[in-house]
Amino acid sequence: MKFRFSIVAEVAPSVSLDETAAGELGFIPITGGTVAGDLEGSVIGSGGDWCLIKSAGTYRVEARYGIRTTEGAYVDVVNTGILTRPGEGAHTPGRGGEYFMTTPVFRTTHPALAWLTHSVFVGHAVAGDGATSIDVFEVIVPGHPA
């Protein structure tokens, strides 16, 4: 895997939307943020993260938001993943702390950013007070140019 960029998505407090047998669904508004690395720009403050609490300490996340690059291009982001917090009751084998991995998918029509639409990416995220940080890695096939 090759590190490509980091996203820091600023967030507002969660809003409870629904509670069913499948779990409790919450919405976390994304209010802005920054992108730095091979992709540079700002997180547009009009998206959100729909978070399904499956059990104590286990969350399924689905975030949708946009990035405006420093050159003015628009990148649409759909980022799904799983967060487990052992301190809340979930157990993640082999890890002493939080496990938060995602699979972001990027869409854009900007020719210089076509590389975002031709590869699989993996994100390692950390949720904090007021922001979620995601280090984005491109999955590279051995023997192919990076």
Domains of the chain (ranges plus CATH)?
Answer: 2-138 (2.40.160.20)
Confidence of residue 76 (pLDDT cuts 50, 70, 90): very high
* Between 72 and 96, the higher pLDDT residue: 72
93: part of which helix (H) or strand (E)? none
pLDDT of residue 96: 54
Candidates 51, 56, 58, 59; CA nearest to 17 is: 51
pLDDT of residue 28: 93
**Average pLDDT score, the chain:** 89
* Between 21 and 18, the higher pLDDT residue: 18
Place of tokens 């649409």: 76
* 86 three-state secondary structure: helix
Confidence of residue 146 (pLDDT cuts 50, 70, 90): low
